[in-house]
Amino acid sequence: MTQIFHPRFGLVVKLTLLALLALASAAVLAWRGLTNEAHRVGEAVEQPVPFSHKHHVGDDGIDCRYCHDTVETSSFAGIPPISTCMTCHSQLYTDQAVLQPVVESWQRGVALHWNRVHQLPDFVYFNHSIHVAKGVGCESCHGRVDRMPLTLRTQSLSMEWCLDCHRAPQKYLRPRTQVFTMGWKAKDQEKLGLALVERYHIDTRRLTDCSVCHR
Amino acid sequence: MNTPLLAPRETFATLTDRVSDITLERPTGRLWLLAFALSFVLTAWLGAGIVWLLAKGVGIWGLDMPVAWAFAIADYVWWIAIGMAGTFISGGLYLARQGWRNALNRYAEAMTVFAVSVSGIFPILHLGRPWFFYWLAPYPDRMGLWPQWRSSLFWDFSAIVAYLIVSVLYFYVGLIPDLATLRDRARTRGKQVFYGLLAIGWRGEARHWQRFETLNLLLAAMAVPLVFSVHSMVALDFSEGLLPGWHSTIFPPFFVAGALFSGFGMVLVLGIPLRHFFGLGDFITERHLDNLAKLMLAAGLFVDYSYASEMFNAFYSGDRYEIAHAMQQLTGAYAWVYWTIIGCNAVSIQALWFPRVRRSHAALFAIALLVLIGMWFERFLLIVSSLYHDFLPSSWGMFYPTFWDIAFLAGSIGLFFLLFLLFVRLLPLLPMFELRKLRARLEREGA
Amino acid sequence: MTRPTARDALRTRLGDSRGPRYWRALEEIIEQPAWRSRLHEAFPQLARLEPALDRRDFLKLIGASLALAGLGACSRPPQEQIVPWVRRPDQLPPALPRFYASTLACAGDVAGVLVETHQGRPTKIEGNPAHPMSLGATTPAMQAAVLELWDPDRSQGPVHDGVAASWDAFRAEAGRLAARFARDGHGLHVLGGRLDSPTLAAQRDAWLARFPGAQWHAYEAIDDDNALAGARLAFGTPLRTRHRVDRARVILALEADFLGSQPGSLRHARDFIAGRDPASEEFNRLYVVEASPTLTGARADHRWALDSAHIGMVALELGDLLGLPGVHAPQASGMSARRLRALARDLADQRGTSLVLAGRTQPPWVHALAHLLNEALGNVGHTVDYYEPAEPWVSSADGLRELTRAMAAGTVDTLLLLDGNPLYATPVDAQFARLLARVPHRIHLGLYRDETALACQWHLPRSHALEGWSDLRAADGTASPVQPVIAPLYDSRSTHELLAMFLGDTQSPRERVQATWHADDDAWRASLQSGVIPHSAPPAQHPRVDDAFLGHIPTPADQPGLELLFAPDPTVWDGRYANNGWLQELPKPLTALTWSNVALVSPELALAHDLKNGDALEMRIDGRHTQAPVWVMPGQAARSVTVWLGYGRRHAGRVGGQLGFDAYALRTAAAPWRVDGLRVNRTDAHYALATTQRHHAMEGRAPVRATTLDAFRTDPAIAQGHAQDPPSLYPDRLHGDYAWGMSVDLNACIGCGACTIACQAENNIPVVGAAEVERGREMHWIRVDRYYEGDVRAPRIHHQPVPCMHCEHAPCEVVCPVGATVHDAEGLNVQVYNRCVGTRFCSNNCPYKVRRFNFLQYSDLHTETLKAQRNPDVTVRNRGVMEKCTYCIQRIETAHIAADKAGRRIADGEVLTACQAVCPTQAIVFGDQQDPATAVSRQKASPRHYTLLEELNTRPRTTYLASIRNPHPALEDDA
Amino acid sequence: MNTPYESRPHERGWLARFDDAGALLLAVRELRGRGYTQLEAYTPYPVEGLAQALGPMRNRIPLLVLLGGLAGGFGTLLLQWYASVIDYPINVGGRPDASWPAFIPAALEMTILFAALFGIVGMFFANGLPRLNHPLFDVPGFEAASRDGFFLWLRADDPCFDAALAHDDLARLAPLAIDRVGS
């Protein structure tokens, strides 16, 4: 009888098996990475006009509600009509090239198409007004927009992420007066949070119910 | 019947040569090619069905409200039940030290592996959104969700996964020594490499044998509770429901018996032709067939008993819905199915009381076939008869199978035989090392 | 020996199925060769089992379904965009729905509505509580108006000689015609429909003045000629009748379907049920004499089946017994003296609080007689009064006759067809198609390019009722404004605008309507907000009946043969809603049929001709003939065969074409409602009928609990099962701040099916098509079950709406392997579509079978207009997921958020489920059952309260109140 | 042609073939008696007592199976409890969060699965498989070991191994053949 395999062949076989295993798991991870978000966290989104929250919020100190004026009344925070932009930009920087699309939109009356940054699936029913009313700061989900030259997402917006707050809102709640302030910090978040849960009558029993977000 | 379990003329050498030559030397027969072609066509039909199903949805089947489960689930239960006998023969009879199992367990196990694999197709494709089947498995997902542990479907999912993995490995481990034999006897380089790789360098060293035997014993000891539990889980898929006819505690044993019953049927349906075409009379003797027939009869009688007790319980319970369900079975729209089942599973097997019938291969084959048919109808009736007339008369309905329901049933049979025919060509039909062991034992007993 | 006749055979078999015992499916009584048919049922030959590849009609219906739909989940979602306003219109935040008061005229009835709009898209119709003929309720047809608005098959632009044209082109044409007929209007004919819009009436007068000699005809396939002609017989003038059902203690309906197909049904139903509260002393009693069962008959305490021809005789015999001078029946009605005497005494005892109604199918003299009886019983001014219709009544039959005569004579030069489909919807003997071809200039205004449109040179798209200004007058004479809730989707005009074009009237549409009412802007705005024009209803009159008509009452020729009856289709009416998927798929009351009409035959007839449901029946009546599928109707009068109009459309659109059979082919202008001498014979052909309920017997399981008033008064708990819930092994899980529950009062439900279609509109429930319904795959979240009880010839009929029960110990939840259906803290059994993988075990395990599964891609993801119709607050389900009633969770959550923001509790009645809101009789009550003060808690405290299948101990949140009948003591045994 | 008597660099020992299990067993006992420890016996089927005769061996398979079973079973129970009580308690059909009876079936299946996996993997490791290349495969006639050959390998790494003596010791046991292993 003679050898069928070269001495080192055994090693080759074992390595191949390991390689296959690694490949499979890599494929799964890659697939999961791809399927869930339209664009990744921290990835600035291309816009028709390079609108800078940093400039408007950080430098000029314009309140969120000046543009997103339905955030307290409606599920949709509201994307400002061009007329809102024109309140200032009919005087300021009117000749700036970057503002051309806005000016045109205003003159021609054709709408401007912004690209969504915070995008949820259709079966998720998020309501801004209730979150604002219960003391969830803009910053908690949108990050420090006052430091964003170009708007980008800072949170994954995955269900797990939502649950993190819905399971223990006290970790993030702030007084209603501070909802729109950027970079606000509580001295003792845990203590304050629990107090606010009390004060704002937040029924934590149902916060993780499916029906709260899905209909 | 006292014919020896192994023809005396078969020595270590001869039996090894005869069995291994079937795979190594024997040319591919025309009959095999024919069978292969046929099963290939059926499998292709299944393939087309799967594509169409993924494209359109489960609506291509005849499912409706209230009958939201039908053919696919019946097929699933039928196949997984057939799988059971293999494990029982190689595991249960091994523990029971039944020497006659040795000739059978290899192809019976192969049957198990293929039947379980085929059955696994159905529960997945039966989902409304098959591509999410993995949501039944617990894994850290982005939704922070888990399977719903209380559902018998989850229990069944874990049972199938465990059963599939264990039975495949059990089958492979048992093959290793025989693969070594094929490696050593192969003449062409290709075969040497093929079997050499599969045999992973088995040499038959005494200590290796020792560990190998321990493992085999333990696997056997685990395989038996495994199959029983698997079929209990399958039963719970129904008895966890509150439908009249489903909500019953006798289901698990009932299913186990039914599984053995149909399993032995399949073992015979496969064994008799194998024995005939490959001249394995020396190994699969009259006595083997006789024993199988007796086992099938025993299992059958248990099944018949559960039919009886089902009826009795229905009427004894005094529960309106149970009684109505029983009456539906006896006289309702599907009564003809019920009586077919009785004919196949209760009446036909009574012939097995007579040694003459057990000795006639044709009769045995025919009865086994009837049993298989009867058991499929039984699964079908079990599912549909409870669904089509449940609690509120207003929602009563019927089930009408479609072209595609048939396609999946026929296709699955095709796929099973496709795999089995490949097994016949590529792997040893009988466990040579166990036969050698048996030969040695017989000699010792003889001396 | 001699074979007994079929009739005897039936009697003997019926003999043992009488009395309290519930009888089984009809097939079991009229013994079919049972097992063969069952074998067929179980495994029909493969021929029937299409490989679903050549499903043209189906594909057309749902639009090409996207292959591998769900596999989309494996790619990144597309980048969404946000498009802001340039200048935002001054209105509420975009995400909140707004409601506009308007009025709809559907299926011969008029009621005020509130139209819900999302970002300017009308998505849902609610009744207008301020409108006397709605009181917050709507009919199924009104619910479906939204789908009609968004129907992609609507006509979208003017067409001239088959090629696309423009309104300018037509304006020119109109100008020419106007000039031509300005001096002499002869030859200019207009064919309109029911004249129920004051503004239209005004325009009509203007028209006739502007074009002297021009003629205006009005035709409706389903008219109320008999009622008005009857009033003319009785009073000399065609007065309209107002019925005050709520004041009536004893009601006799002579084939009058006042709860169903008659105008004012919504208000009548509310009033009728208001008079049937078992808790109060007052409890009315309803006698119905009719040939074919109607919703009214189904609710009757005594429903007596009698062929339509002899119903008048009953009225006469009754008048005789009541001692009315000059009243005597020339012929016996066949109604037993026992019944008549009891009925007469009952009516006489209730002087002033009784009420006699006659149906539109009865000849004028029966109506006149009804007026006479009401007068004799002193009901005038109490339960009934009369008013002069503000708009002159034009007889539909006369209108058609005059027009066709003129067309035949060739004196019609230009025919303007205002919104109607006479080519299809006219009796065959009018030969409208042939005559129309002779008219030189044919102009059609309509919502669809239908049969008539195709036969005209000019077809002009009409604006939908939700797209234009108008006004309408309801059955009680109340007028209310119609205001646009959306700009016309297509290049269309309203009827008013079209007429204005000819009249050279330059007012804006709004001004025109406002002008009709001489209302200043404030008053006008006020009535737009309330949805009612104040003081618009004509004053009541109490004229004396002139009984001269008694002199010449025709004696019905006592023919042994069959009589053929015509009835509007319960859902598609005269055929105008043929292309409306919601209405097509809404199960028709009593039969649960969808997508087709049938010929209703009595069990006796079925037995005599060995007919079973779906058999093709050949019907001949002097020369006219057609073939129709049979439906064996329990309670149908022995010699009456009823056919529904409205099917057999040839150019209805992609949904409504080629369904059912055309009953107009049997109809004549002279006898639009009933005709004698029908001959039928069975053919071997068979129709596949799509029904949503196949078994109508309760099998002794009593899902519906009913008892008589006397029995209930002696033992109020008679309908109840266990006092409280049976014990359970499981701990009681604590509830949230609210415990939502629902109660359905079966004593109030009249089985109209409005809840089903309202739910469909609210919850984006897809239409699946006839083939799928036939398979049992309809998607309705709330179904109305019908059960028959007792004698096949005179069954008791029960309705039971069944939504999800939201069981506290839900069987469905335990068996779901992925937790896609679970409970929330407030007791809702929630279905999480995006988690569902579609094992369907939940449905198998639901004892109430209320779950619905998307076996295929049912919801249309492509047609833009259909997408625009959807409710944005409800997820659109794709194939492969389970769905079911959610208690309108979107409405609960909206209320929740509003209340939570304000830091208050949700008030009782703040959350109305869609089914609850639409119900004309308020049979459905929803609310927090934890709070004893809420309406739902009070209902659940009633002694009539019971739980469906309570022996299963599923602890449902949806429970029922038993139904109470009030039979005449002397006729207990005689339903 | 070389005689067996001179020793070589790659000496691996001698392989003797016997005609049946009995003879092999005797030979093993004999050689053990002479103090040889590094013996290996190759048979076409498991021969009872042979392994023991070859000297003490460690067979940890049963222990591994036990451990695997425990891990699988309790691991599954723990996971189910954690998921439905700690991580995301949801009201399912009004059942308690920790529905122990319902947790058992899956645990049972996983017990068996993991026990089997541990056992099989353990067997491979303990037996040093896969081992595709082995000196014995060079020995002519060794293929009979998987047919009807009973072989005894006297390993060169045996402390008291001396090529010549060992060969004689083997020859004294009247084997069918003696071959050199390795070269």
CA atoms within 13 A on the CB side of B438: 24
Q: What are the angstrom distances between the C-alpha of C794 and each of C17, C560, C749?
A: 12, 21, 20
**How much is the pLDDT for A35?**
63
CB B324 within 8 A of CB B316: no
Q: Is B194 on the interface with A (CB under 8 A)?
A: no
Lookup: tokens for D149 = 């050959």
Domains C559-691 and C706-722+735-968 share a fold: no
- Cβ neighbors of C599 (< 8 A, separation 6 or more) are C617, C619, C628, C629, C630, C631, C641, C642, C643
Interchain proximity B143–A1, CB inside 8 Å:
no
Q: pLDDT-derived band of residue C79, with 50, 70 and 90 as boundaries?
A: low
CB C947 within 8 A of CB C956: yes
**How much is the pLDDT for C723?**
58
Note the helical H segments in C144-283: 145-150, 167-183, 198-210, 225-235, 265-274
Residue (of C856, C840, C866) closest to C66 by Cα position: C856
Q: Which of C52 and C435 is assigned the larger pLDDT?
A: C435
Interface test with C, best of D85, D90, D91, D103 (most C CBs within 10 A): D91
CB D132 within 8 A of CB A10: yes
**CATH 3.30.450.90 holds for C559-691:** no
Using a CB-CB cut-off of 8 Å, the residues of chain C touching B387 are 844
Q: pLDDT-derived band of residue C57, with 50, 70 and 90 as boundaries?
A: very low
Distance CA C641, CA C663 (A): 12
Interchain proximity D133–A3, CB inside 8 Å:
yes
CB C581 within 8 A of CB C145: no
Count the neighbouring beta carbons within 10 Å of the beta carbon of residue C447: 22
Residue (of A62, A90, A70, A68) closest to A80 by Cα position: A68
**Residue C12: pLDDT above 70?**
no
Chains that touch B (3 or more CB pairs under 8 A): A, C, D
Identify whether B299 is part of a domain.
yes
Lookup: tokens for B410 = 């026929």
Distance CA C293, CA D83 (A): 57
**Residue C556: pLDDT above 80?**
no
Note the pLDDT tens digit of each residue in C826-842. 999 999 999 999 999 99
Count the neighbouring beta carbons within 10 Å of the beta carbon of residue C521: 8
- Cβ neighbors of C66 (< 8 A, separation 6 or more) are C72, C857, C861
Helix axes C225-235, C364-376, angle to 10 degrees: 50
Note the pLDDT tens digit of each residue in C413-462. 999 999 889 999 999 999 999 999 999 999 999 999 999 999 999 999 99
Q: What are the angstrom distances between the C-alpha of B422 and each of B20, C672, C783?
A: 15, 75, 53
Distance CA B74, CA B111 (A): 19
**Residue C14: pLDDT above 80?**
no
Q: What residues form DSSP beta bridges with B334?
A: none
Lookup: tokens for C479 = 């007028």
**How much is the pLDDT for C721?**
65
Note the pLDDT tens digit of each residue in A173-206. 999 999 999 989 988 999 999 999 999 999 888 8
Architecture of domain C706-722+735-968: 2-Layer Sandwich (3.30)
Do strands C882-883 and C852-853 pair parallel, antiparallel, or not at all (unpaired)?
antiparallel
From chain B residues 248-277, the ones with a CB under 8 A of any chain D CB are none
Is B187 exposed, middle or buried (CB count within 10 Å of its CB: 0-12, 13-18, 19+)?
Answer: exposed
User: Which of A139-143, C43-47, C391-395 shows the lowest per-residue confidence on average (mean pLDDT)?
Assistant: C43-47
Minimum Cα–Cα distance from C82: chain A residue: A114
Interchain proximity D113–B229, CB inside 8 Å:
no
Domain of B406, in residue numbers: 12-446
CB B260 within 8 A of CB B295: yes
Residue-wise DSSP of C212-231: TT-EEEE--SS--HHHHHHH
Distance CA C189, CA C176 (A): 16
* CATH, residue B429: 1.20.1630.10
Note the pLDDT tens digit of each residue in D69-114. 999 999 999 999 999 999 999 999 999 999 999 999 999 999 999 9
Note the helical H segments in B240-319: 251-277, 286-317
CB C603 within 8 A of CB C634: yes
**Segment B179-184 mean pLDDT:** 92
Residue-wise DSSP of A50-115: ---HIIIIIIT---HHHHSTTTTTSSS-----HHHHHHHHTTTTTT-GGGHHHHHHHHH-PPP-EE
**Segment D41-56 mean pLDDT:** 88
From chain B residues 149-188, the ones with a CB under 8 A of any chain A CB are 183-184
Nearest to A10 among D90, D131, D142 (CB): D131
**How much is the pLDDT for D1?**
37
Largest CA distance in chain C: 92
**How much is the pLDDT for C732?**
82
Domain boundaries of chain C, sorted by first residue: 159-223+395-518, 225-387, 559-691, 706-722+735-968
Region of D174 (left: φ > 0; alpha: ψ -120 to 50; beta: rest) is: left
The end-to-end CA distance of chain D, in Å, is: 13
Q: What are the angstrom distances between the C-alpha of D175 and each of B344, C338, D20, D149?
A: 60, 118, 10, 11
Q: pLDDT-derived band of residue D161, with 50, 70 and 90 as boundaries?
A: confident
Phi/psi at B364 (nearest 5 deg)? -55, -50
Lookup: tokens for C754 = 């409005």
Note the pLDDT tens digit of each residue in C156-165. 999 999 999 9
Q: Which helix (H) or strand (E) holds B157?
A: helix B152-185
Interchain proximity D40–B148, CB inside 8 Å:
no
Using a CB-CB cut-off of 8 Å, the residues of chain D touching B207 are 40, 51, 54, 57, 127
Q: What residues form DSSP beta bridges with D152?
A: D16, D41
Identify whether B232 is part of a domain.
yes
DSSP conformation class of C720 = -
Q: Is A210 on the interface with B (CB under 8 A)?
A: no
Query: E strands of C306-436, at which residues?
Result: 354-358, 384-387, 414-418
Using a CB-CB cut-off of 8 Å, the residues of chain A touching C75 are 34-35
**How much is the pLDDT for A70?**
86
Region of B60 (left: φ > 0; alpha: ψ -120 to 50; beta: rest) is: alpha
Q: What percent of chain B is predicted at pLDDT more than 70? A: 99
**Residue C479: pLDDT above 70?**
yes
CB C567 within 8 A of CB C643: yes
Nearest to B390 among C38, C849, C854 (CB): C849
Q: pLDDT-derived band of residue C702, with 50, 70 and 90 as boundaries?
A: confident
Lookup: tokens for C911 = 């959350």
Q: Is B357 on the interface with C (CB under 8 A)?
A: no
**How much is the pLDDT for C95?**
63
Q: Is A36 on the interface with B (CB under 8 A)?
A: yes
Residue-wise DSSP of C487-512: --SSS-B-HHHHHHHHHT--S-HHHH
Say what the ipTM of the complex is. Answer: 0.92
- Cβ neighbors of C390 (< 8 A, separation 6 or more) are C198, C201, C473, C477, C479, C538
Nearest to D92 among C732, C813, C825 (CB): C813
Identify whether B403 is part of a domain.
yes
**How much is the pLDDT for C37?**
39
**CATH 3.40.228.10 holds for C225-387:** yes
CATH fold of the domain at C159-223+395-518: Rossmann fold (3.40.50)
Lookup: tokens for C159 = 């067409």
Interface test with B, best of D112, D124, D142, D176 (most B CBs within 10 A): D112
Distance CA D104, CA D126 (A): 32
Minimum Cα–Cα distance from C822: chain D residue: D92
Note the pLDDT tens digit of each residue in D122-133. 999 998 888 888
**Segment C535-555 mean pLDDT:** 90
**How much is the pLDDT for B69?**
94
The full length of chain C comes to 975
Q: Which helix (H) or strand (E) holds B441?
A: helix B432-446
Chains that touch A (3 or more CB pairs under 8 A): B, C, D
Lookup: tokens for C170 = 């037509």
Distance CA B336, CA B384 (A): 13
Domain boundaries of chain D, sorted by first residue: 13-57+150-181, 61-126
Q: Which residue has the tokens 């309570």?
A: C950
CA atoms within 13 A on the CB side of B213: 17
User: Which of A92-101, B371-380, C166-175 shows the lowest per-residue confidence on average (mean pLDDT)?
Assistant: A92-101
Lookup: tokens for B208 = 């290796």
The full length of chain D comes to 183
Q: What residues form DSSP beta bridges with C799?
A: C786
**How much is the pLDDT for C456?**
94
Note the pLDDT tens digit of each residue in C638-693. 999 999 999 999 999 889 888 999 999 999 999 999 999 899 999 999 999 999 99
Q: Which residue has the tokens 């092999």?
A: D24
Distance CA C299, CA C641 (A): 22
Count the neighbouring beta carbons within 10 Å of the beta carbon of residue D57: 12
Nearest to C95 among A75, A201, A206 (CB): A75
Minimum Cα–Cα distance from A163: chain D residue: D88
**How much is the pLDDT for C683?**
92
Interchain proximity C873–A121, CB inside 8 Å:
no
